[in-house]
Amino acid sequence: MSKKWIRILFYVMTLLSVFMLLFTYEYVSRVKNAPLVTIEGLRGSYVLNGVLHSQEAQLDVGKYVVFGESILRLYGNRVKVVKIPRFEVEVIWEK
């Protein structure tokens, strides 16, 4: 190969690496800022730690007491439907 083609290939690979770095940074920041669990009422409103909610709420790491049937949407597109009138939710990080 001539030096011209090698130089062009070098610049193309450099640009590709920069774009991949930017894409990876954007993806990791979205994953980091995503809520671990969101909760919404199965039949309207629910009580979360003594506060009445009618829309979905985001849960961070910790323990919560919920009154009312609810839908829990976990990170990774998993959904849990809880039809118990009073229950506790503990949100933790897993390895």
Q: Is the dihedral of CA 65, 68, 69, 70 positive or negative?
A: negative
Query: What's the pTM value of the predicted model, to 2 decimals?
Result: 0.65
pLDDT given at position 29:
92
pLDDT tens, residue by residue, 32-88: 888 888 999 988 899 999 899 989 899 888 999 999 999 999 887 889 999 999 999
SS3 68: coil
Adjacency order of strands within the sheet including 57-59: 57-59, 37-41, 70-74, 78-82
Cβ density class 78-89: b for 16+ within 10 Å, e for less:
eeeebeeeeeeb
| Domain positions in the chain | 1-33, 37-91
pLDDT tens, residue by residue, 8-28: 999 999 999 999 999 999 999
